[in-house]
């Protein structure tokens, strides 16, 4: 079973972030350039929240706000749910499902070491299941 550490080793440990004082427009532009759906919000090298396309849709567009005039800290999710690197992909999926989130910062020893998405975890679980299927088929036919 894949751990979060193994997933980060495969995907990389790049941490994409934006400052809380930046505009929502800058955040959305940065996400579009990177092809991602969320950014960590960092202040003085510490994570203080997460901003996502969902936040933009619900807290800017639906409220009739202007993205160039709205700051990231006005719409970001301030409760930061994290996961340890030793946790399994299954545990990460359960945490995401319970909290209705799609991105998890990974923290070990109070240090931010990466971010995993729901897609990263689903792919790892699929790989684990395929390995188990292959092993069972070899056992049955062996």
The pTM is what?
0.87
Domain covering 4-141: architecture = Roll (3.10)
CA distance 116 to 97: 14
CA distance 76 to 39: 10
Q: What is the pLDDT of residues 107-133, one digit of tens each?
A: 999 999 999 999 999 999 898 788 787
- Report the candidate in 65, 64, 16 with the shortest Cα–Cα distance to residue 42: 16
Q: What is the pLDDT of residues 50-88, one digit of tens each?
A: 999 999 999 999 999 999 999 999 999 999 999 999 999
CA distance 109 to 7: 18
């Amino acid at each position: 079973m894949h751990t979060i550490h193994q997933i980060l080793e495969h995907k990389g440990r790049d941490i994409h972030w934006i400052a809380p004082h930046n505009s929502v427009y800058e955040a959305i532009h940065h996400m579009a350039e990177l092809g991602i759906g969320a950014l960590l919000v960092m202040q003085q090298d510490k994570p203080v929240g997460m901003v996502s396309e969902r936040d933009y849709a619900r807290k800017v567009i639906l409220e009739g706000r202007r993205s160039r005039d709205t700051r990231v800290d006005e719409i970001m999710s301030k409760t930061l749910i994290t996961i340890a690197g030793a946790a399994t992909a299954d545990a990460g999926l359960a945490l995401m499902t319970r909290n209705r989130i799609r991105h998890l910062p990974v923290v070990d020893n109070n240090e931010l070491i990466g971010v995993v998405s729901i897609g990263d975890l689903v792919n790892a679980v699929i790989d684990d299941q395929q390995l188990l299927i292959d092993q069972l088929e070899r056992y049955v036919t062996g």
